[in-house]
Homo-oligomer: A and B are copies of this chain.
């Protein structure tokens, strides 16, 4: 009972993490900042998204602890906090692609 309740809590955390990964623009941001830190304006330019939208998604990614923030003068740099997040994005992409291609071959 108690043990099962613990599982439920862990799964709730996992679900929350998955929710952070459930937006295409956020995944694009994660990939972009996976190799080197990027300023908000750099992300805005490279992904061609509005600045408030990027700030909004970065706030969400920060809240779910997927990114870290670092201010340098007028710029604010974001970078991936844990490399496993990148593996997760790749695993999601691979599984999604495989599931879809398997469907087409029925």
* A interface list, Cβ under 8 A from B: 7-8, 10-19, 21-24, 26-28, 31, 64-66, 81-82, 84-85, 87-89, 91-93, 95-100, 102-103
Complex Cα distance, B20 from A15, in Å, reads 9
Q: Are B11 and A93 in contact, CB atoms less than 8 angstroms apart? A: yes
Which chain B residues border A95 with CB–CB below 8 Å? 17, 82, 84-85, 88
- Nearest first, the 9 A-B pairs at minimum CB distance are A19-B22, A14-B92, A13-B96, A18-B21, A18-B22, A65-B99, A14-B93, A17-B96, A15-B24
Main SS at interface, chain A? helix
Complex Cα distance, B65 from A30, in Å, reads 25
Which chain B residues border A31 with CB–CB below 8 Å? 7, 11
